[in-house]
Structure 1
Amino acid sequence: MKVKDLLKGLDYFCKDKNLLEIEINDISFDTRDIKEDSIFVCNKGVNYDTHNDIERLKNDSRIKVIITEKSYDFQTVVVKDGRKALALICKNLFLNGYTPKLIGITGTNGKTTTCYLIDHILSFANIKTARLGTINYKIDDEIYPAPTTTPSPYDLYKMISKAKNKGCSNVVMEVSSHALDQSRVFGLTYDYAVYTNLSGDHLDYHESIDDYFKAKSRLFHEYLNGYAIINIDDSYGEKLRESLENKNNCLTYSFNSNNANIFVKSYDKGLEKSFVLFELDGRELEVETKLVGKHNIYNLMASILVAYKYGIDLEQIKKAIVSFENVPGRLDKIVHNNIYVFIDYAHTDDALKNVLQSLLPFKKRRIITLFGCGGDRDKTKRPRMAKVAEEYSDLVVVTSDNPRNEDPQSIINDILKGFDDNSKVIVEVDRRRAIEIALGNALEGDIVLIAGKGHEDYQLIKGIKYHFDDKEEVLRFFGKI
């Protein structure tokens, strides 16, 4: 594709017009991965600005043209924003006019389950769909690893291109605050945008909770041309709804407010399955679900609203929900000798609270909670997670999560500041040993929650990625593998 075609939709300055006629085969944006006959897009990253490498880049024969935010006396095209330019160039190369229906889900918690649910309901209705999110990327029936919740513009548009090639008419995806702040989804227009909730997380990246909210809101104010679907039980959700110019295209969900488009009339909960009676725009909808907990009822409501606006028959929606199995690493259940073990990704205080509140009604004897906190991430949530674990648990095991480049004991010390009573707290830095301690303390009738990593099958320690899977450790302890 010619450079001028890659730059469609961009404001740019090019001194040498001959550059615009050069044929380009690929896009490069990382000096560690330069492709043959490529256009290199310089941009300011979080930790590094590739404009610093300009002298090396101009002498690399693999690069035909360089996109920069500054003017140079060689083969450059100047743009105002390198990040946005990268996204739009990727879109032009990979999509070439393909415009699937896009569903974006943002919020602190619930994005993954809601994404899975929407994908399942649409697929159940024979609508070919791609799914992009935290656990993996699914293009129709093919699965790809997911390095990040929302991939880089290059990987994102390449995945959407794969969806095009597989005949998918829809893409449902999690949209992180980082992705919105870094313009990774620039160039996309969403037909549906779902807001789940907002609580303290990523405050190592965002300056404040309000800054975090503003990043999330960009999905609705800058990228949406369709329906906004918002949880109005969340205070920031109500704030978001009020900020929308087109409130006619805003659909709301709530656990008990009959002002919402969908709300809960009755809820018969269980560990094996639950029955929920919703009211949806004046119509009753009773569903059976294997999902556990109130937080999952919110995820169901968001998913039902999307499917409802797609025009999927309510009976078909009900059948799809009944057939939906649990999401990997989200209240993943293992039962052994009447001990219920749940593995969950909850890694914020709000998510941990939601999960523990969901398990509390089923407590026969004790709840034992194991958790840690990731290194090089938001430190403010560490003591908050301790307070939640202490409030809802009879025994707490504090351990490592992904310490990354931090000292694991230092992370644990931050967590311990949140406990009022350390008498029911066990500290074990080694996560494998900690799981053995939690399960070894469990007796018949106990519930054990192993929180923080969920579907992850690794630990990150001092820059090295080690294989580690909470579920494998539980099964090994019980002699099931």
Structure 2
Amino acid sequence: MDVSGDYHSTVSELAASIGIVSDNDAIVRGIHTDVSVVMQGDIWASLRPTEAQCALAKEQGVVAILCRDVPAVEGVDFLQTNHLEQSLGVLLNVLYAEPSSHMNIMAVTGTNGKTTVAYLCASAMSYLQRSATMIGTLGYGPLGQIRPQRHTTPPVGELHQKLALARDRGADFIAMEASSHGLDQGRLAGVMIDVAVFTNLTHEHLDYHKTINDYLAAKQKLFMMQSVGVAVINYDDPSGEILAARINKPLWACGLNAVPRGPQRWSYCTVHDQTLNGMRLKITTHEASVSIDTPLIGRFNAENLMLSHAALCVSGIDPLLAASALGSVSSIPGRMQRIQFSELLCEVIIDYSHTPAALEGVLQTLDEVKQGRLWLVFGCGGDRDRKKRPMMGSIAERYADEVIITEDNSRSEQFEDIAQEILSGAKCPAYCHTIKSRQKAIGYAIRQAQAGDIVLIAGKGHETYQDNGETLKSYSDILAVESILEAN
């Protein structure tokens, strides 16, 4: 990655920052946790490195290995620490001249809504003439210049490097997503987070975390970070109140169901005049009352806007200015994104919803505003949490008038097996269509839909690829709709 600052230190200087004495004056160019990406001049960090991994790291030119368990390998300088995650964070922070301490950093965690809240806050700050950068599912960079990245929350070395690049380019506000995987794996180590936001906790990633309690514990790590000054928490979610009781942090509580009780800082939001074209929100806080006219729709987006408004206020933005800035955001890529071509008779909406709660929230909203029939085209990813598949099949049947099950990212699984698991949750699976080709499934829905109908294409959102386990094929739901219309 191109980093404008010439960041380098010596092994001995970095070692001293974590209390290790070293006479190694080799220049350090970078620090990584993935041995496959280390290069000449890097430090590689691993809890328990194997002899084979150390040999590979040595061959690739590492100048030192940071680890807890030191293997019997000669010719490598080991920096031994019993607190690998903390030590790694300190080393990276020192190497890149403390980038996160020079910017206002907001981190968002939760099952659903992370991308939307981060995008809303970055967009609002840009609207207010602040230099904002986003790091998350959509990618990395200033809005309008976002580049794709592999992970929602990048590996810790890559994250510090990207923060340094943002700082050197003049950014003063970072809106980032903190995934449960990233938190569990220590990818935020050494990053100074100012504001932490919790959206919700629903069924997802239990193939990784095993239990919902483990999943919540991973999310909780964000709010236990020492640098966090204020926690903005969705009190409508039961896990939100549990989280608030566990952490010793100043709170800003947010609710749509009722005015949050207890915390001194709070927001209460009500929804008015919702149509397919937008809605009006009234947000009352402990210190002000504001309105937001937004083209976004749905209770979940009302929550996202309320949390974003609180996060902006915590970051020093006047409540009225924050409301005005949030109202300026017209859409979020791949999130309830309306596809408007003159050739379309029906409404077509693309959404990233790939969890049971997210899919239900979108379908429920569209069911409330539809004038005709509601069509759903969706699938489930392979090699991921299988327990959610029948749940999503049940939700699809409950809300959609027409259901078409199709490919998502099947990866190493067979599409037919995934489809059967989705159908197992439906009471009348015979009423669901199964069309393997995603483009053909979308084409079928668009051609069959009538004026006034809504076609929801769910699961992939902004993604520009399809993963069949062997290759990543270039694919976009938006481009699929466009090519279908061109062929008619």
TM-score range, shorter chain: over 0.9
Q: CA deviation at 1:291?
A: 0.7
Partners of 1:433 and 1:378 in 2: CA distance: 26
Alignment check: 8 A CA contact 2:89 2:191 kept: no
Q: CA deviation at 1:131?
A: 1.1
- For 1:110-259, list aligned pairs within 5 A: 110-139=113-142, 142-246=145-249, 249-259=250-260
Alignment check: 8 A CA contact 2:233 2:252 kept: yes
Q: CA-atom RMSD, angstroms?
A: 2.1
- For 1:361-400, list aligned pairs within 5 A: 361-400=368-407
User: What percent identity do the matched residue pairs reach?
Assistant: 32
Match of 2:3 in 1: none
Change (3 A) 1:441 1:274: same
Paired residue type of 2:55: E
Alignment check: 8 A CA contact 1:111 1:174 kept: yes
Q: CA deviation at 1:338?
A: 4.0
Match of 1:329 in 2: 334
Q: CA deviation at 1:96?
A: 4.0
* CA deviations over 1:351-387 (Å, ceiling 9, x no partner): 0001011111112221111110111111110000011
Give the alignment partner of residue 308 of structure 2, picking from 303, 312, 327: 303
| Number of residues of Structure 1 aligned to a counterpart in Structure 2 | 470
Paired residue type of 1:5: E
Partners of 1:34 and 1:244 in 2: CA distance: 37
Alignment check: 8 A CA contact 1:125 1:312 kept: no
For the residue of structure 2 that corresponds to 1:411, the secondary structure is: helix
Q: CA deviation at 1:299?
A: 0.4
- For 1:50-89, list aligned pairs within 5 A: 52-58=52-58, 60=59, 62-71=61-70, 72=72, 73-74=74-75, 75-89=77-91
Change (3 A) 1:353 1:141: closer
2:474 maps to 1:467: yes
Partners of 1:427 and 1:390 in 2: CA distance: 13
Partners of 2:129 and 2:363 in 1: CA distance: 36
Range with bigger deviation, 130-139 or 195-204: 130-139
Change (3 A) 1:321 1:33: closer
* Unaligned segments of structure 1, at least 5 residues: none
Change (3 A) 1:480 1:315: farther
Match of 2:94 in 1: 92
Partners of 2:83 and 2:200 in 1: CA distance: 30
For the residue of structure 2 that corresponds to 1:63, the secondary structure is: coil
Alignment check: 8 A CA contact 2:66 2:81 kept: yes
For the residue of structure 2 that corresponds to 1:390, the secondary structure is: helix
Change (3 A) 1:266 1:57: closer
Partners of 1:168 and 1:208 in 2: CA distance: 38
Change (3 A) 1:275 1:29: closer
Range with bigger deviation, 184-193 or 312-321: 312-321
For the residue of structure 1 that corresponds to 2:269, the secondary structure is: strand
Partners of 1:309 and 1:61 in 2: CA distance: 45
Range with bigger deviation, 173-182 or 314-323: 314-323
Range with bigger deviation, 3-12 or 470-479: 3-12
Alignment check: 8 A CA contact 1:202 1:377 kept: yes
Q: CA deviation at 1:231?
A: 0.5
2:28 maps to 1:24: yes
2:282 maps to 1:277: yes
Alignment check: 8 A CA contact 1:30 1:50 kept: no
For the residue of structure 2 that corresponds to 1:420, the secondary structure is: coil
Range with bigger deviation, 131-140 or 358-367: 131-140
Change (3 A) 1:36 1:337: closer
Match of 1:264 in 2: 269
For the residue of structure 1 that corresponds to 2:182, the secondary structure is: helix
Q: CA deviation at 1:401?
A: 0.5
Q: CA deviation at 1:218?
A: 0.9
Q: CA deviation at 1:439?
A: 1.6
Q: CA deviation at 1:85?
A: 4.0
Change (3 A) 1:402 1:11: farther
Match of 1:439 in 2: 446
Partners of 2:257 and 2:390 in 1: CA distance: 31
Partners of 2:39 and 2:222 in 1: CA distance: 31
Match of 1:38 in 2: 42
* CA deviations over 1:201-257 (Å, ceiling 9, x no partner): 0011001111101100111123553110000000101111122223xx101111131
For the residue of structure 1 that corresponds to 2:150, the secondary structure is: coil
Range with bigger deviation, 452-461 or 300-309: 300-309
Range with bigger deviation, 81-90 or 317-326: 81-90
* CA deviations over 1:173-217 (Å, ceiling 9, x no partner): 000000110001011232110000000100110011111011001
For the residue of structure 2 that corresponds to 1:459, the secondary structure is: strand
For the residue of structure 2 that corresponds to 1:188, the secondary structure is: coil
Alignment check: 8 A CA contact 2:30 2:157 kept: no
Change (3 A) 1:83 1:405: farther
Q: CA deviation at 1:337?
A: 4.3
Paired residue type of 2:281: V
Change (3 A) 1:326 1:427: same
For the residue of structure 2 that corresponds to 1:229, the secondary structure is: strand
Paired residue type of 1:259: P
For the residue of structure 1 that corresponds to 2:433, the secondary structure is: strand
Alignment check: 8 A CA contact 2:196 2:228 kept: no
Match of 2:4 in 1: none
- The two structures have a TM-score, normalised by structure 1, of 0.92
Paired residue type of 1:111: K
